[in-house]
A and B are shown apart, each in its own frame.
Chain A
Amino acid sequence: MTLLGLAARNVLRNKVRATLTVLGVAISVLTFVLLRTVVGAWTAAADFAVKDRVVTRHKVTFVMTLPRRYVDDVRNAPHIRAATWANWFGGKDPKHESEFFATLAGDSKTFFTVYDDMKVDKETLERFQQDPQGAIVGDVLAKKMGWKAGDKVLLASSIYAKEGDWEFRIAGTYTATQKSVDRSTFVFHWTYLNDGVSIPGLKDQVGWIVSRVDDPSQAATIGVTLDKLFDDKEVQTLSQDERSFNSSFLASVSAILTAFDIISVVILAIMALLLGNTIAMGVRERTTEYGVLKAIGFRNGHIVLFIVGESTFVGLLGGLVGVLASYPIVERGLGRFLEENMGAFFPFFRINPLAALFAFVLALMLGATAAAIPALTASRLRPIEALRRVA
């Protein structure tokens, strides 16, 4: 038997209380890991952005469009290797109104060259390019909707409304080479959209232009150069490297992300209070025993070690249970569900091992600090006071 062994045995003394406390800590750790995973998934698109991609959009807002001819100007600019464009279609399957997935009208010749992290095999691409109503969809979306090559799909658009639905034929699927790529996007021909648009203001308009530059380290400077091209034109642009572009989307949800950060801290504080309260109860009940220990020669430091050791052990168990429980919940349940159903927001909803490790270490540290006050109080009691005290 050792001093720390004695501390561990004290934890298991009241099994119901110990179990509830460990579960409380575990749930706090699990919630913390989940919140960090949400924040991580939300920022994944920015974190995993392709470094040599520059996005050009309307200077005022992403919602406003650019003239199609700007694409040629961009292509002719220095340091641009390739450029493509796309429009947000806002499509929905009328039979499955509640299913959300991104629908993009892109240039069939260049879209998958510039977005080469969306991997399409040669045959599928050829089939897509040859069929004006062809569409390529993410493998996750295809699986979810039960679509396969050759299937006819009808979509309705809230932006590009027309009589009847837009009709497409599935050419095949793409997979992803990067974690940040949404595998639930629906991509079809921009020309099909442009030809079918009945509102004159939407004709020959593109949502954004995406370029690949020859020097990723100069992406920001190249963006500025691109914008200068359009300074004197009727529509001014804002060009950003892909990371900044993706981050600008996050700015709109920054309040939510901040709230998540605050909630994470609140959860940790609750965990510390929960532990502190349990330890304080245990210490109060065992004051006489600490008196006995002091009587037979144990010093204040030993008493602190017992109590802090006990609390740290609870933190250790709770942290382990919380982290171990978070993996199946996220990796096999929640993460898979979110990736399939909300892939546009959470293309990669998986636990960052560093966040899990951080949560575990925090549980240990909070376990140690939560016991500080009861430990100091108990250690400072004179043995005679401790022996006389009745819990």
Chain B
Amino acid sequence: MTAAETKAETKAESKAEAAEVLISVRGVVKTYERGGETLRVLDGLDLDVKKGAFEALMGPSGSGKSTLLNLIAGLDRPTAGTITVGGKRIDELGESALAKWRGDTIGFVFQSFNLLPVLTALENVTLPLLLTRVAAKEREARATTALRIVGLEDRLHHYPRQLSGGQEQRVAIARAIVNDPALIVADEPTGDLDRKSAEDVLSLLERLNKQLGKTIVMVTHDPAAAERASIVRRLDKGQLQ
């Protein structure tokens, strides 16, 4: 094997390896100003998340796990360092481009569901599709499918106030997957739920990961929730342990 062949093979290998990595965080620093004091929440953090992974981020309050999740999801910007998701440097994107990227790439699941109370379950799920060129009928069909996946096909026209907490979170998950995003980020998705509903939601996330191949990064305090993830990472004082 010639030197050139060896070099080409090495390059191909590293390319294949890089292709498996969906999220690459390098040297990320995040600081906040609070009362004239600078708080260093993330301190030169490195992280790789592979495509199709289901990772849980755990750590004590103030460890920086939600901050890291927000940076990965493009909701916030790092003070220093780079964040690459799906081969795109999101820390370099402008506000408008970042918003579009979020719409195309990320599905969000929040602790307090954050559904719009004036919209039905179906309309809440349709919401991200309003930003696309998908026709109204197709939007409705896709949203119905998403709600069927989360087991709420019989609650299409119910308003959030007419649903239980677990059902609301499942609607939120349907909203997160309706665009077929590459990555789902979930911030304490079971934090506001009873044990039974939490189990249902975690099973659903597990299914999305295993059956639909969705990459999921989840922040949680709950060890039982973290057990469902394939990888559990712990943060403390802005560093991965």
Contact = CB atoms under 8 A, between A and B. Distances in A.
Interface of A: 1-3, 6, 9-10, 12-13, 288-289, 292-300, 302, 382-384, 387
A296 B103 contact: yes
Contacts of B73: 295
B96 A297 contact: no
Given A383-B75, A384-B76, A296 B128 contact: yes
A288 B102 CA distance: 17
Interface in B30-68: none
Q: Closest 7 A-B residue pairs measured CB to CB?
A: A297-B103, A9-B118, A292-B114, A384-B76, A299-B99, A384-B75, A296-B128
A9 B127 CA distance: 14
Contacts of A382: 75-76
A295 B102 CA distance: 7
B96 A295 contact: no
Contacts of B75: 295, 382-384, 387
B100 A297 contact: yes
15 contacts: A2-B130, A3-B130, A6-B119, A13-B118, A288-B114, A289-B114, A292-B108, A295-B75, A295-B102, A295-B108, A296-B106, A296-B175, A297-B99, A298-B99, A387-B114
Interface string B105-125: 010101000101111000100
Nearest to B67: A384
Given A288-B114, A298-B103, A383-B75, 17 more contacts: A1-B123, A1-B126, A2-B130, A6-B116, A13-B118, A289-B114, A295-B75, A295-B106, A296-B108, A296-B175, A297-B100, A297-B104, A297-B128, A297-B131, A299-B99, A302-B131, A387-B75
Give the dominant DSSP class at B's interface. helix
Contacts of B95: 299-300
Contacts of A1: 119, 123, 126, 130
Nearest to A302: B131
Tell which of A288, A289, A299 has the most Cβ of chain B within 10 Å: A299
B60 to A, nearest CB: 19
Nearest to A380: B95
A186 B127 CA distance: 71
B70 interface: yes
Nearest to B139: A1
B130 A299 contact: no
B150 to A, nearest CB: 16
Contacts of B128: 296-297
Nearest to B117: A13
A12 B96 CA distance: 30
A9 B124 CA distance: 13
Nearest to B115: A292
